[in-house]
Amino acid sequence: MQRRDFLKLSATAGAVSCVTACGSKTAETVTPPQPDAQEQVNWGSCTCNCGHSCPLQVVTRDGDIVRIETDNLGDDSWESHQSRACAKGRSFKKKVYAADRLKAPMKRIGKRGEGRFVEISWEEAFDTIAAELRRVIDTYGNEAVYCQYGSGRLYSWFSGGHWNGGGRWGAKLLNLLGGYLGQYNTYSSGQASNAGQYTFGGRPVSGYAELQNSDFYLSFGHNPGETEMSGAGGGYDLSVLAKGLETVIVDPRYTDTLVSKEAKWLPIRPGTDAALCEALCYEIITRGAADEAFLNRYCVGYDNQTLPQGAPANADFKSHILGGGPDGVAKTPEYAAPITGIAADEIRALATKLIAAEAPFIGQGLGPQRQANGEQTVRAITMLPLLLGKVGLPGTSTGFTPAKNVFPLTLSPTGANPTKAQIPCFMWSEAVARGEEMTALKDGVRGVDQLSTGIKFIWNYAGNALINQHSDANGTHRILEDESLCEFILVHDVQMTPSARYADILLPDLTDVEVNDISGNPATHAGVITAMTSAIRTPFEAKGCFEVCLEVARRLGVEREYAEGRSYQQWLEHLYNGFAASKGYPEYAELVRMGIYRVQDTTPKIGLEAFVDNPEANPLATPSGKIEIYSETLAQMAQSWVLPEGDEIPAIPSYVRTWEGYEDVDTRAEYPLQLIGHHTKGRTHSSFHSNRWMREAVEDCVWINPKDAQERMIQSGSLVLIRSKRGQVRVRARITPRIMPGVVSLPQGAWRNNAGEVDDGGCVNTLTAMRPTAIGKCNPQHTNLVEITPA
């Protein structure tokens, strides 16, 4: 195989070194530990979707992994700090040699989801895929073909990494055949992207480094201590950059970030962050602390004087906050306290800190926006720095998640997609069940007014959103099980994930440490580009994304157009060298010799800095060119879109009550607890769940407050049954005061194991609802009402 042929270029048992972007060595040559001369050291990367792509040193002997080490180069100063992998990356050997590793091509022999397969040859697999793809396109058209969302290998740039497009090479093949149904948004941050687009024309952010210049840090639901725990992550950045900085974190859980930062915890009911922000805005305005000169110059819709022409009177943000809006309710701390669970005096005290701060850094994680009212949550949080006029200045942020380095590596080419239709990625199961009914005004379809067909062919590469990471797992199972809906499912992955069990043809892929590739690590200030090479003797019949697509292309008569005369290795070198030349980075052969290459700070410095400095020369990408507190686009959508009962699209940032929120008293009568999901140190989404080391390190159990546990006679460590309208999950209980009363939290990403009525795997999506948000049609995974009883 090409990856093995290339081993002669990779780092061998000799020394490895690291060079900075300016071309000078950061340290003397470092020799990794080598007990005997037969060991070989190659650089690899852990590219799962935590966003950090930590470098790994893969030590092998005779093609077998001996151990996994990580970045140990440089002096580990801030300017050249090491991007040390977390426990997940260091456990990668367990992933390569996992018992559930897919070992050969297989075809389904039972019902979809049963997981019954027989081995077949690669030739039969390729023949079947090509024949089914041609049949579906000829019968239904290209809109019937869909590349499923997947992020299991997100940051491997050329060998198959990206969350859509069948690992990019799949998209190139499909585009040569006439295209496929596209997608937009992400499961992770769709609400934030939509909120940013309608308010700022994008997501302007400040880098983590600005925390050094701040005097107060307010964070909503940001937990880098668990979600960004490597040397390249935000947990490291906070420990260095925010040391001694007064910090308040608003979150239903007392997270590991709170523990490590010793920050003030403001527990809040899920989905009510916007109500808290409204009350804070009330205090800022009524105390005369709103920077109205800033708001009048840079914003649209703060008050009646800055409303767009034609907007209703008193539809502005200030009127809404002070009680002059359509609802007639002043958004006082007393208004917000019973909604949020935060005392009115606590809200006033927080407002005092915000007003007193010279350079408040206000941000949020991605958890708060993953709610049924997520777009409004994001917009409401961004109002705090805007009201204070504290954006575009040193030490400030815009209310979004802090940024890290940006590596605009040139992804493998796909060509243009001739099929114009796109759906929100979260709506794919609806497109299977009722595709012909989906429209632009009802379902967020783009490119066409209405879909012409349902999805009939799914190409699922390196992802677990077919079932495990998608809402309402039981309902999704019923859709996928029905072969009259989706007629063919291809899964190409590394392990027998819950999604892999739904394949008609199942192909074994190579892991990150078994391929040649490039990864980009976005660590603040000193990011890392890694030359991924491999000396591993893969013990299975695995094939990579490029090779699989090449074989299918050959059978469909487009091999020449697909490969363009290059092998995968030639594509890798060609694409990387073109990027490197534009940036002044080392060429491929030199990068392989070095192993890793540190890139000095390329982070966005201060969000909205250029716009604030000169708004006329640097207008935003909104219709007005300004910050749109009142969005005419959203107002028009509210009038023209067909929304389910209870959904709203407000033109201004405001708190919206939702189904299965705290104020859904009818549902709470039977399901009184709010359920959220949380990320743990043992998984990235569902990646690494089957690794026993990680499950031993972080137990899958539902967090429940002692008060709620006592009321239900639940003992710590005992089995409990979690019930929602959609399903039931049986897990162990962790009784802890680190979750507020009335709220419970289940680690997300656990693999579904639903052999009967009850899911014993602990998958939170057995309990969640397949009901998208009003604006972006996004994933509302943390909006759930449940009841818990002893099992």
- Listed by start position, the domains of the chain span 2-96, 106-188+410-508+545-562, 191-405+626-640, 665-790
Q: Is 762 left (phi over 0), alpha (psi -120 to 50) or beta?
A: left
Per-position DSSP letters for 286-325, written without gaps between them: HTT-S-HHHHHHHEESSSGGGSPTTSPTT-SHHHHHHT-S
Predicted local confidence at residue 444, as pLDDT: 98
Please give the Cα distance from 307 to 317 (Å, whole number): 9
385: helix, strand or coil = helix
Copy the structure tokens of residue 520.
Answer: 């980009």
Q: Report the Cα 527 to chain-centroid distance in Å.
A: 20
Q: What are phi and psi of 325, to 5 degrees?
A: -85, -175
- Partners of residue 299 on adjacent β-strands: 627
Predicted local confidence at residue 449, as pLDDT: 98
Per-position DSSP letters for 4-25, written without gaps between them: HHGGGGS--SS-BEEEETTS-B
Please give the Cα distance from 468 to 50 (Å, whole number): 17
Please give the Cα distance from 719 to 727 (Å, whole number): 16
SS (H, E, C) 735-787: ECCCECCCEEEEECCCCCCCCCCEECCCCHHHCCCCCCCCCCCCCCCCCCEEE
User: If you count them, how many residues does the chain have?
Assistant: 791
Q: What's the Cα-to-Cα distance from 294 to each of 280, 388, 392, 400, rounded to whole Å?
A: 18, 9, 11, 19
Q: Do 379 and 387 form a contact (C-beta atoms < 8 A)?
A: no
CATH fold of 106-188+410-508+545-562: Rossmann fold (3.40.50)
Nearest to 459 by CA among 141, 54, 718, 174: 174
pTM of the predicted model, to two decimals?
A: 0.94
Predicted local confidence at residue 152, as pLDDT: 83
Q: Is 296 left (phi over 0), alpha (psi -120 to 50) or beta?
A: alpha
What angle do the packed helices 333-340 and 273-286 form, to 10 degrees? 170
Nearest to 223 by CA among 235, 210, 241, 239: 235
Please give the Cα distance from 43 to 56 (Å, whole number): 6
Per-position DSSP letters for 444-459, written without gaps between them: --BSSSB-SS---EEE
CATH of 191-405+626-640, one of 2.60.40.1120, 3.90.25.10, 3.40.228.10, 1.10.287.130: 3.40.228.10
Please give the Cα distance from 28 to 723 (Å, whole number): 58
Predicted local confidence at residue 168, as pLDDT: 93
Cα atoms in the 13 Å half-sphere on the side-chain side of 770: 27
Q: Do 627 and 618 form a contact (C-beta atoms < 8 A)?
A: no
Q: Which helix (H) or strand (E) holds 791?
A: none
Mean pLDDT, the chain, integer: 92
Contacts of 98 (CB under 8 A, 6+ apart): 494, 495, 690, 691
Predicted local confidence at residue 230, as pLDDT: 87
Q: Do 123 and 272 form a contact (C-beta atoms < 8 A)?
A: no
Q: Which helix (H) or strand (E) holds 470?
A: none
397: helix, strand or coil = coil
Q: Do 519 and 45 form a contact (C-beta atoms < 8 A)?
A: yes
What would you measure as the largest C-alpha separation in the chain, in angstroms? 79
Radius of gyration of the chain (CA): 26
Q: Do 682 and 698 form a contact (C-beta atoms < 8 A)?
A: yes
Q: Do 73 and 596 form a contact (C-beta atoms < 8 A)?
A: yes
Copy the structure tokens of residue 107.
Answer: 């075809």
Q: Is 568 left (phi over 0), alpha (psi -120 to 50) or beta?
A: alpha
Q: How far apart are the first and last CA of the chain?
A: 52
Contacts of 657 (CB under 8 A, 6+ apart): 373, 663, 664
CATH fold of 665-790: Barwin-like endoglucanases (2.40.40)
Per-position DSSP letters for 51-108, written without gaps between them: S--EEEEEEEETTEEEEEEE---S---GGG------HHHHTHHHHHT-TTB--S-EEE
Please give the Cα distance from 301 to 627 (Å, whole number): 9
Predicted local confidence at residue 22, as pLDDT: 36
Q: Do 766 and 728 form a contact (C-beta atoms < 8 A)?
A: yes
Nearest to 655 by CA among 345, 284, 315, 336: 336
Tell me, what amino acid is at 207? G
- Partners of residue 446 on adjacent β-strands: 422
Please give the Cα distance from 455 to 12 (Å, whole number): 48
Predicted local confidence at residue 386, as pLDDT: 98
Q: Do 555 and 126 form a contact (C-beta atoms < 8 A)?
A: yes
Residue 413: how many CB atoms within 10 A of its CB?
13
Nearest to 383 by CA among 778, 654, 657: 654
Give the chain's residues under pLDDT 70: 1-36, 163, 407-408, 601, 603
Q: Do 788 and 720 form a contact (C-beta atoms < 8 A)?
A: yes
Please give the Cα distance from 142 to 133 (Å, whole number): 10
Q: Report the Cα 303 to chain-centroid distance in Å.
A: 35
Predicted local confidence at residue 12, as pLDDT: 33
Predicted local confidence at residue 163, as pLDDT: 67
Copy the structure tokens of residue 463.
Answer: 């992802």
